Amino acid sequence: MNDVSTYDLAERLEENPIIKPGDIPPSSHKMKIECLLNPGVFKFGNKTWLLLRVAERPEQIEGMISFPLYNEEGKIEVLHFHKDDPELDFTDPRVIRYKGQDYLTTLSHFRLVCSDDGKTFHEPKGNTPIFGSNRLEAYGVEDCRVVEMDGTYHLTYTMVSHVGVGVGLMQTKDWKNFERKGMIFPPHNKDCALFSEKINGRYYALHRPSSPQLGGNYIWIAESPDLLHWGNHLCLATTRQGKWDSARLGSGASPIKTEKGWLEIYHGADENHRYCLGALLLDLHDPSVVIARSEHPVMEPLAAYELTGFFGNVIFTNGHLVEGDDLHIYYGASDEVICRADFSIEEILRSLLN
Ligand code: MAN
Nearest atom, ligand 1, residue 248 CA: 7
Nearest atom, ligand 1, residue 311 CA: 12
Residue 4 has pLDDT above 70, yes or no: no
Global confidence as pTM: 0.96
| Size of the chain, expressed as the number of residues it contains | 354
C-beta 332 within 6 A of ligand 1: yes
C-beta 38 within 6 A of ligand 1: yes
Q: What percent of the chain has pLDDT over 70?
A: 99
Kindly state the average pLDDT of the residues 325-337. 98
Kindly state the average pLDDT of the residues 309-332. 98
The pLDDT assigned to 228 comes to 98
The pLDDT assigned to 354 comes to 76
Kindly state the average pLDDT of the residues 42-48. 97
Strands (E), 45-86: 47-57, 64-70, 76-82
C-beta 143 within 6 A of ligand 1: yes
C-beta 335 within 6 A of ligand 1: yes
The pLDDT assigned to 2 comes to 44
The pLDDT assigned to 39 comes to 98
The pLDDT assigned to 3 comes to 47
Query: Which tens digits make up the pLDDT trace of 88-115?
Result: 999 999 999 999 999 999 999 999 999 9
Q: For residue 29, with 0-12 CB atoms within 10 Å meaning exposed, 13-18 middle and 19 or more buried, which class applies?
A: exposed
Residue 6 has pLDDT above 90, yes or no: no
The pLDDT assigned to 80 comes to 95
Query: Which tens digits make up the pLDDT trace of 122-138?
Result: 999 989 899 999 999 99
Nearest atom, ligand 1, residue 267 CA: 7
343 pLDDT tier (thresholds 50, 70, 90):
very high
The average confidence (pLDDT) of the chain is: 96
22: helix, coil or strand?
helix
C-beta 139 within 6 A of ligand 1: no
C-beta 314 within 6 A of ligand 1: yes
Give the sheet arrangement for strand 152-161, strand by strand: 32-44, 47-57, 107-115, 140-149, 152-161, 164-172, 179-185
Q: What are phi and psi of 180, to 5 degrees?
A: -90, 125
Query: Which tens digits make up the pLDDT trace of 244-298?
Result: 999 999 999 999 999 999 999 999 999 999 999 999 999 999 999 999 999 999 9
